[in-house]
Amino acid sequence: MAQSDTVDRILDAAEELFAERGFSETSLRMITSKAKVNLAAVNYHFGSKNALIHAVFARFLSPFSATLETAFDELEEKCQGNPPTLNQTLWALTESAVRMPQRNEKGISIFMRLLGLAYTQSQGHLRKFLEQEYNEPFGRFMRLLKEATPELSSVDRYWRIQFMLGATAFTMSSSDALIGILENKLGVETSVEEIAARLVPFLAAGMKAPDKILMPPSIKGVTVA
């Protein structure tokens, strides 16, 4: 078996199992069994489970980051020195993801599921890896977001970005199921590209929503009569 084929089989198996079971619940033995390789192959190519997790993310994020940098270059050139709008910035990010060549048709949904797990499970090493390796493209994205929303405080912008990421992770990780539900319930066919096109204006509207509203008494712990 060629070395690159072995690496791909390990990464394919790890990616699928991590997305299905989570990082902590997936053992190296499960991965080697699914990939049909021995544990020595994993140790030789990756060295540790954490390094394997990093490699799973890098396989998607490295080409995506390069595509995203190009998209931002083209966007800023098009804007001729003016800050890109929020819709333009969000669309550059989303379009770069959905149009990037995928190894399989579920590539985007699997990766978004993994990205969600990275922030809901205790994976400090992974968050540190992502911040170190991909700080430049995503730091640039954050700068463009800030320029497009100067009216927001740092705290408000932080929370709205978290809400935006949550909506994106749920929608894109569930895209197959959502496509199936739409077709079964309404008889309408759609695609991942169309989902993204519908998602971007929703996210932009959320980022630009009015400031926080007064909470109803029931939320504050007081029963509404």
Q: How do residues 15-30 score in pLDDT, each as one tens digit?
A: 999 999 999 899 999 9
| Residue 1, both tokens | 């078996």
Superfamily in which the 1-47 domain is placed by CATH: Homeodomain-like (1.10.10.60)
Q: What is the pLDDT of residues 78-137, one digit of tens each?
A: 999 899 999 999 999 988 887 776 676 677 788 888 888 887 776 788 888 988 999 999
Superfamily in which the 59-207 domain is placed by CATH: Tetracycline Repressor, domain 2 (1.10.357.10)
Q: What is the pLDDT of residues 31-82, one digit of tens each?
A: 999 999 999 999 999 999 999 999 999 999 999 999 999 999 999 999 998 9
Q: What is the pTM of this model?
A: 0.82
Element (H, E) at 70: helix 49-79
Q: What residue segments make up the domains of the chain, in order of their start?
A: 1-47, 59-207
Phi/psi of residue 10, nearest 5 degrees: -65, -45
